[in-house]
Amino acid sequence: MLTSKQALAKYGKPNKTGAGYLTTIKLPYPMFLNWETKTYVNSIQCHKEVAKSLVAIFTDILAHYGLAEVKRLQLDDYGGCFNYREMRGGSELSLHSWGIAIDLDPDRNLLRETSKTARFARPEYKPMIDIFYKHGWESLGREKNYDWMHFQVKG
């Protein structure tokens, strides 16, 4: 899995505003903000080098599940992409600092949850996770069996 050091070498030094490397992508379906559930967004910011793959991921998710199922499964629960910060419990920058990681449905896929309790570990979410892999991303849940909300670009 991509480390902060590898991200620094590949994507350069991040900054608090994302100036110089962020772009805004239009989502194929609206997503609600996890921290403000009545607010929906139609676009998000991510690193310009992963923008096409992220649009393709959400386009494929919509094509596979359909909008009603996306909503039922809460695949429209947006937990964040760009967020300049250190990793929880660490001193290295999170991959969110580059906008190359995204969190989905964080309330039902908590940081310390394993496949026994995380929602994304259930069979109905396997196609969604496979779609991330198809487009060059990976699931921390599948790879490490914790933080199932977290998806990041592969190194």
Q: What is the pLDDT of residue 126?
A: 99
CA distance 88 to 111: 9
R_g over Cα of the chain: 15
* pLDDT tens, residue by residue, 17-70: 999 999 999 999 999 999 999 999 999 999 999 999 999 999 999 999 999 999
Q: What is the pLDDT of residue 47?
A: 99
**40: exposed, middle or buried (Cβ count in 10 Å: 0-12, 13-18, 19+):** middle
CA distance 142 to 88: 19
Q: What is the pLDDT of residue 138?
A: 98
Token match 């496979």: residue?
Answer: 130
- For the cut 90, the answer to whether the pLDDT of residue 155 exceeds it is no
Assign domain 4-153 one CATH number from 3.30.1380, 3.40.50, 1.10.3470, 3.30.460. 3.30.1380
* pLDDT tens, residue by residue, 69-79: 999 999 999 99
Binned at pLDDT 50, 70 and 90, residue 89 comes out as confident
Q: What is the pLDDT of residue 61?
A: 99
- For the cut 90, the answer to whether the pLDDT of residue 90 exceeds it is no
CA distance 27 to 136: 18
- The residues near 137 (Cβ < 8 Å, ≥ 6 apart) are 53, 57, 151, 152, 153, 154
- For the cut 80, the answer to whether the pLDDT of residue 88 exceeds it is no
* pLDDT tens, residue by residue, 98-133: 999 999 999 999 999 999 999 999 999 999 999 999
